Structure 1
Amino acid sequence: MASKIKYNLDFDSLTSKELKLLEKASEAIKKFVSKSDKINQVNYKTRDAHVTAYSTLKGTFVANKNFEEHPIFPKQELDCLIRISNAHMKLVSQKRTIPAYGFSVKISDDNQTIANFPMVNFPLFPINNVSRFLKIFITINRFFAGNILQKFWNLIKIIKNFILVSPAFFHPSFIAEVSKFLKKRNNFILSFDYHSIGVYRLGNDLVKLKLVPKNVRTKVVEKHIDHSIQNYFKENEYELELMVQYCYDLKKQPVNQLNKMWKKSDFVLIGTIRITELIDKNNQWVENLSFNPFENIEELQPVGRIQKLRDETYKASFTTRKNNDL
């Protein structure tokens, strides 16, 4: 059997230019979040992304007894909280929305976070260039937070930067996944597989994560997503398998090329999530939570250059929301 690639700090390294851009991104986030209540016409400061909450689920994570890395988890059974959302930076209508869903998982033990896994229903990320991604991210935040003139200039910058990164959208792997996604874009939100965008440590190994629901219908019954979730739980149980895919070869399973699917690596079951309770999606306690994956225990930390950006950006959003609520 091939040896697993081990974690090293080089996977996460950012240049001085990228770090300066990350500082600008954090400032852009703070400005957006500080204005987010007015932008979204609500009485609280919202997140910088995945603002629209569809549902919050409470349950139990049960580690697979036969999994070789089981000792990473302090107990076989741990508490689990899931926030289901839309990826957009602003509140969006449930009737007219792109089906880009978030599935943020918090695994904890007596309120102590073991892992935050922000996951989405599309397995790839099109932009590998860190500087270019940060420039796009900065201008999008400035676009929504700015006045009419600022919106105009930032829109020009957004279009320019997207043109520059557009070749990454045409990677065969990315095109194939888009084609698959379009075929199931109208499926029931709980029936999707959910994926980690980037890589995580599992002990000292490198993995991608996937959540696979068990025996869930794909047909949408209700037009409103939150109602469809509520009605599903009136008659059905919901269980998902948490699986990992190991990195053995950086050409076949690249860490910092996020627009390419990993090949020649089978998924391994590491645990099961069983939902026990549906929580009010407007519960302010949940909305005040952070799902920053850098709050994970050391053995489950994110890996990669794009992933590295999450630490500062999540903190900037969370701190601004928290300070504005005081």
Structure 2
Amino acid sequence: MKTLLTYTPDLDELSSAEKNDLAKAITSVEKFIKSSSKISDVNYATRDAHSKTYATANGVLRVSEDLPEFIQEIFKEKEYDLIARFSNANLVINKKGRDVPAYGFSLKIKDINGRDANFPLVNFPLFPTNSPSTFLRFFTSVNTFLVTKQDNFLVSALDLPSLLKNGLPLFASLLSGDLIKEIIKLIRRRNHFFFSFPYGGIGCYRLGNYVMKIGLQPVRNLGKTGKDEPQKKSVPDFISLHDSEFMLTVKMCENQKDQPVNNLMKMWKNAPEYTLGKITIPKNSALNSSSPDVENLNFNPFENAQTLQPVGKIQQTRKKIYEASISTRNKLNGI
């Protein structure tokens, strides 16, 4: 193995213009969450992404033996309890029809270096832009449109030009090679079962002094499980009847040509990879996702120990958005 890339704070630095766009995005998040119960027609304030919960369950991570010392220094125990949340990526809880196959598999691994370690994973771990400002402007426009549409449908039409203008640079970047390949894969598997997909983090994390990407692979081939059933039904049904097993992996950054930290539009290649351990979600381990205590769980990766913090410019924009989202949602939900 070659020398691993050492984490340095400059990997996270935002420009003054990006910080200004972030401030506007935070305001839009707060407004969205204040209107979210009406937008989604539920009796509580929702998240600003992945608002629809399919299920939440207890599980365990059994750590692999013979891992390199720099990993063992972080993951010191043989087993860790965890909570997993399975969700859809939509901002709005849509109660009708089939969901877009964009799924979230979020982990809260208990007590790693004195803190819970949170890893929100998705089945499409690429990002449509490397520009924080492009993402933030579009994100702000979407939130503004949804809030205005809820308050006054006619007035929301005035927001459409801004939404389209800020969306064009984002959609234009979808023509990049790796993104097209992954979109085609997702379309081909659009009717597959939730637990049949591989999942990964959007962006990088620290692993001690180094930089990693984290991923998850199902142990069993479950592509045809729950065929023609909505995931909202098939996921809880599967958990009630079967153990679910997944391999948790980490890929390490050696050089930014093959493993770019701030280019989230490319898949990493030639990266050293380790199996961190096996995750088991036992049957009948599901929690009551309609309970406020469960629904209001947060999986904020910026609450991780310092040695497992997110890394990168896009990750830093998400940090403030997470904080605003959680704070506003908890306040409205009386947490």
The interval holding the TM-score normalised by the smaller chain is: over 0.9
> Shift of the alpha carbon at 1:222?
5.5
> Shift of the alpha carbon at 1:226?
2.7
Which residues in structure 2 correspond to 1:222-301 (within 5 Å)?
223-276=229-282, 277-301=285-309
Listed one character per residue, the Cα deviations across residues 274-326 of structure 1 (whole Å, up to 9, x for unaligned) are 11311122122121111111000111110000011121111111111111123
State which of 299, 302, 313 in structure 1 corresponds to 2:321: 313
Gapped regions of structure 2 (runs ≥ 5): none
> Shift of the alpha carbon at 1:236?
2.1
| TM-score using structure 2 length | 0.92
> Is the contact between residue 143 and residue 150 of structure 1 (CA under 8 Å) also seen in structure 2?
no
Listed one character per residue, the Cα deviations across residues 83-134 of structure 1 (whole Å, up to 9, x for unaligned) are 1111111002363221110111101139x64311011001211111111111
Gapped regions of structure 1 (runs ≥ 5): none
Partners of 2:106 and 2:286 in 1: CA distance = 15
Listed one character per residue, the Cα deviations across residues 246-299 of structure 1 (whole Å, up to 9, x for unaligned) are 111101111111111111114310122111311122122121111111000111
> Is the contact between residue 98 and residue 230 of structure 2 (CA under 8 Å) also seen in structure 1?
no
The RMSD of aligned alpha carbons is: 1.8
Partners of 2:313 and 2:191 in 1: CA distance = 32
SS at match of 2:93: coil
The aligned residue for residue 167 of structure 2 is 162
Aligned length: 326
Find runs of 4+ consecutive structure 1 residues off by over 6 angstroms: none
1:292 and 1:227, CA in 2 relative to 1: closer, same or farther beyond 3 A?
Answer: same
Partners of 1:55 and 1:21 in 2: CA distance = 34
Verify: 1:182 aligned to 2:187, yes or no: yes
The aligned residue for residue 87 of structure 1 is 89
Q: Which amino acid aligns with 2:233?
A: H
SS at match of 1:279: coil
> Shift of the alpha carbon at 1:168?
2.1
Listed one character per residue, the Cα deviations across residues 20-58 of structure 1 (whole Å, up to 9, x for unaligned) are 211111111111101111111211111111111001111
> Shift of the alpha carbon at 1:74?
4.4
Structure 1, 217-226 or 268-277: larger mean CA deviation: 217-226
Q: Which amino acid aligns with 1:98?
A: V
Which residues in structure 2 correspond to 1:195-206 (within 5 Å)?
195-206=200-211
> Shift of the alpha carbon at 1:241?
0.8
> Shift of the alpha carbon at 1:201?
0.7
> Shift of the alpha carbon at 1:152?
1.9
Q: Which amino acid aligns with 2:275?
A: L
Q: Percent identity?
A: 39
1:85 and 1:212, CA in 2 relative to 1: closer, same or farther beyond 3 A?
Answer: same
The aligned residue for residue 56 of structure 1 is 56
| TM-score using structure 1 length | 0.95
Q: Which amino acid aligns with 1:33?
A: I
